[in-house]
Amino acid sequence: MDGRLILAGRRVDTGESQESINPATLEPVGRFSLGSPRDCDLAVQAAKSAFPGWRDVPAKERKQIFLRAKKILLERGAEVAETIAREKGGPPTENWSMEIFPVLEALDYYARAGVKNSRPRRSRPHIFLFYHKRSEFRFQPLGPTLIIAPWNFPFLIPAFDCLSALTTGNTTILRPSSTTALTGLLLGEIFLEAGLPPGVLNVIPCQTQYAEGLVTSPDVQTVMFTGSSVIGKKIMALASRNLTNLTLELGGKDPMIVCRDADVERAARGAVWGAFCNCGQSCGSIERAYVHTDIAGEFTERVTALTREIEVGDPLAEDTDLGPMTTLPQLRLVEEHIRDAVDRGAEVLCGGDRVSGLKGYFLRPAVLTKVDHSMRIMREETFGPTLPIMTFEKNEEAVDLANDSEYGLTASVWTRSRRTAAALADAIETGTVSVNDHMTTFPEPNAIWGGIKQTGFGRSHGPYGMLELMNIKYRSFDFARKKDLLWWFPYSRRTRSLFENAASLYHHPSAGRKARALGALAPRLGDILRKVPLLNFIRSIPGLFSK
């Protein structure tokens, strides 16, 4: 594995390096170079220098680069899957389904979406005095974009963020997590091989204090951060120094509501996968389940049985469903949440213990009942393989419980009723809601990702995510042959009277008042037409009857 930095299109060995550790074996995976403050500055300057050229590259040329990257990723997919398995601990099958396949789809999507979203959009003025103007929205890149990526999806998340930025004509500096830096460097290598110009994507693992320097660089125009709320707030404070554009995705405590009429077998299987895939290390995981009392017994029994069938072990073994957790601190945090819940009266039906005989950070997935909102496992982000189950009697109660959280990322509703699904989806306070599924809105490139409350702000992915990375410029052209416009100087009593009557004519609810205003304006028509095109008035007539 090549652990050298990617700076201005070159692989760079800085002389200082760090080992990447396999969480399953606790043995080294490889070494990667660490960027110094000077290297970080070089990365920003490379992105800044490359920006004018990349900004002006036609969308069709960017499309070809993305399609080449798709071809390369398809050819190197097995290598990527194994690298993720060794660095993060996820089984290759899961790495293919949750990281590689979605990135292939995203490369295809952004290759085509870039052409569509680069086009100006016409805008017809609403004020009749401006009807003669030709107006439009244009979407222009902001400049160098810093992407600070987490370790839990070390290929998927940085790939999606990089594609959003690159598609909109921005250049990028990717700072991958030091836990999974080799995977981040492999992503950059694929883009280089696809022909991305030097400096357009720079990949620089570095220490935390140097990453802070990247955030405060006046040449960085946007920061995209995915991680914890604590670090997100610190980044927000740093970014405020230069009023840098910011997108924050800071985690979740995602609820699952299982209604009385739900398909219990489907809901149980969905719960087990949604809570435990990626070892529960996803901000979009099911972190708490609310189940109607009438089916809670059947649901819990089936969930417990399915959880006991999950094969925990070496992620590179063919029959493994769940590998290790990625870091020891996160493993210990999950254990703390389980211990706190038990101390407060919760019951662990299965799991929650480490796997004997295995060297790495292995934890059996846990199902808990008799939980309530006094417990950390129901309030704080656990980010591990746990599924606490709580019951409810009315759907309104379930919504209240789901919304009783400082997070608001995503949620799921499980029901056979379309009406119930729509009502609950509208009532839950999150960025996205899925019905009869979970964890599928992130990999869909045409969806959005992001949330509210302590989850952060801003959106990534898809057409709305791309808007976060662009200057939305409004352009208005006026080539009417008028030497003087009505609202220009000099002001006069006559001009004020004209506007007062025009306001009544177009906006007063009384037909009589409109008629009097029209009578007052009629003698002034010649004066008005010298300053406003006649066509504006003709086109505004239908509006007199609709306002």
The 10 Å Cβ neighbour count of residue 480 is: 12
Q: Residue 5 belongs to what H/E stretch?
A: strand 5-7
The active-site residue out of 283, 380, 381, 468 is 283
Q: Let me know if 335 is a catalytic residue.
A: no
Strands 410-414 and 254-258: parallel
Strands 452-453 and 407-408: antiparallel
Q: Is 188:174 a contact under the CB 8 Å cutoff?
A: yes
Q: Is 141:471 a contact under the CB 8 Å cutoff?
A: yes
d(CA 344, CA 295): 25
The amino acid occupying position 112 is: R
The 10 Å Cβ neighbour count of residue 339 is: 15
**Considering just the CA atoms, what is the radius of gyration of the chain in Å?**
28
Q: Let me know if 40 is a catalytic residue.
A: no
Name the nearest CA neighbour of 188 among 162, 211, 152. Answer: 162
The position carrying tokens 């490369």 is 107
The active-site residue out of 99, 249, 380, 381 is 249
| Residues, the chain | 547
**Burial of 228: CB neighbours in 10 Å, binned 0-12, 13-18, 19+:** middle
**Burial of 297: CB neighbours in 10 Å, binned 0-12, 13-18, 19+:** exposed
Cis peptide before 490 (omega within 30 of 0): yes
Q: Is 136 helix (H, G, I), strand (E, B) or coil?
A: strand
462: region left, alpha or beta (phi > 0 left; psi from -120 to 50 alpha): left
d(CA 48, CA 46): 5
Backbone angles phi and psi of 341, in degrees to 5: -65, -45
d(CA 524, CA 526): 6
Q: Where are the beta strands (DSSP E) in 253-385?
A: 254-258, 286-292, 347-350, 366-369
The CA distances from residue 264 to 63, 400, 412, in Å, are 44, 22, 14
Q: Which two tokens stand for residue 150?
A: 């987490």
d(CA 3, CA 24): 20
Q: Which two tokens stand for residue 413?
A: 């509703």
Q: Is 409:284 a contact under the CB 8 Å cutoff?
A: yes
Instruction: Point out the residues that are catalytic.
Output: 249, 283
